[in-house]
Homo-oligomer: A and B are copies of this chain.
Amino acid sequence: MSLIVQKYGGTSMGSIERIEAVAQKIAGFRARGDDVVVVVSAMSGETNRLIELANDISGSPPPREMDVLVSTGEQVAIALLAMALEKISCPARSYTGAQVRILTDDSHTKARIEEIDVHRMQADLSLGRVIIVAGFQGVDADGNITTLGRGGSDTTAVALAAALQAEECQIYTDVDGVYTTDPRVVDNAQRLERITFEEMLEMASQGSKVLQIRAVEFAGKYKVPLRVLSSFEEGPGTLITLEEGEDMEKPVVSGIAFNRDEAKLTIQGIPDTPGVAYRILGPISEANIEVDVIVQNISEDGTTALTFTVHRDEMKKAEDVLAEIAGDLQASSVVTDAHIAKVSLVGVGMRSHAGVASQMFGTLARHNINIQMITTSEIKVTVIIEEKYLELAVRALHSSFDLDAPDSVEN
């Protein structure tokens, strides 16, 4: 008998029928003798409905009241799931974040969990009850309702698993695991049996659709084994752990992440002096524009160029900021490009294997794909290429690094 924390997202809770299916799944774990603590999100669409109500009233609703409002979405979901479990004779109790006492700081709409009181849950577990906790919410020291921000239900699940020392934290979603790359782009992408927390974080562009990055960080920090599985199909999913696994045949590269939401900005002919990068990226940051990749190369003529990428929707805003700075810096020009894509190879195996980057560049060269920017980290190599080559690049790399599914020859 072991303790499992399970999290079901909004799609899994999307209708009465789906809630009943989730109840059946939970009852199955109980029947096998496991203790189960369940974290749920609001029924899909509900959080957006509530946010729209607020926006109908105010352009800037007070964050404290936003939390009172949107936390009701999960509260509805916990009650309905508890009812569905009781109906099939599986004793259950629902708890809001405040009732568990998931203590957070007072940063409304983006609170951080500080402490979780496990006594009430442990008492219920010893009575054979399934515990259903509202995800995404907590309470501050003054008793105000707080929320953890969008996707915070994953974080709630991981935090509960850590506090209760659960054997595993299972995140049920609409995909059956983490793949070597997006199966919509590469037909024979494979589900990974396991992946490390670090790799999962670097797979962000794919991973963020599956798991909240913050929850992965949290799980890594507290060493909570995390498993991503499908709510709708049977299967082992993907286990995200600290260790690299015993698999001798594990490939050097675990997966390929990509992103086509970015745009590239270059400011050219700027003086190659200390503080220049700050004078450019400081105002960008003050304008609340998030920067992803940054590359600055050495100069040859006393001037240099700095290139960075931002979300495509913010390119115009970033360009306006650069235009202002350009005069002060006597820059020669500002160049933008919205038609780029980012492709990354991810794998802890890179640490001990040389030549991953050169194999990547060679593969792209054979397909005549020009590399515009390169950045690397210990377990990731990222290139920026022209957007139209994205699918070609991902497929070529997937094949080149032996990630294709074994039966792909027959397909």
Contacts from A to B (Cβ < 8 Å): 16, 19-20, 50, 53-54, 56-58, 61-62, 64-66, 68-69, 71-72, 75-76, 78-80, 82-84, 86-87, 93-94, 96, 98-99, 120, 143-145
Contact = CB atoms under 8 A, between A and B. Distances in A.
How many copies of this chain?
2
B143 A99 contact: yes
B58 A83 contact: yes
Contacts of A94: 65, 68
A57 B19 CA distance: 9
A79 B66 contact: yes
A78 B71 CA distance: 13
B84 A53 contact: no
B79 A75 contact: no
9 contacts: A20-B57, A50-B76, A58-B86, A61-B83, A68-B75, A68-B78, A68-B94, A68-B96, A69-B76
Given A50-B76, A53-B16, A76-B53, A83 B65 contact: yes
A62 B83 CA distance: 6
A100 to B, nearest CB: 10
Given A54-B83, A65-B79, A96-B145, 5 more contacts: A16-B57, A50-B76, A65-B86, A68-B82, A71-B75
Taking each of A53, A61, A79, which has the highest tally of chain B beta carbons within 10 Å of its own beta carbon? A79
B50 A65 contact: no
A87 B62 CA distance: 9
Contact of A87 (B57, B69, B98, B143): B57
B57 A84 contact: yes
B62 A69 contact: no
A84 B79 CA distance: 28
Contacts of A68: 75, 78-79, 82, 94, 96
A242 B96 CA distance: 42
Contacts of A16: 53, 56-57
B58 A87 contact: yes
A76 B65 CA distance: 9
Contact of A75 (B19, B56, B61, B75): B75
A84 B54 CA distance: 9
A405 to B, nearest CB: 40
Nearest to A70: B79
A241 to B, nearest CB: 35
Given A98-B98, A143-B99, A62 B86 contact: yes
Shortest beta-carbon contacts, A-B, top 10? A69-B79, A72-B72, A68-B79, A61-B83, A58-B87, A65-B82, A16-B56, A65-B79, A57-B83, A72-B75
A19 B58 CA distance: 12
A282 to B, nearest CB: 33
Contacts of A93: 64
Contacts of A61: 83, 86-87
Given A19-B57, A57-B19, A80 B69 contact: yes
Nearest to A91: B62
A232 to B, nearest CB: 19
A69 B58 CA distance: 26
A65 B65 CA distance: 24
Contacts of A144: 99
Given A68-B94, A75-B75, A94-B68, A80 B54 contact: yes
A87 B120 CA distance: 39
Contacts of A76: 50, 53, 69, 72
A259 to B, nearest CB: 35
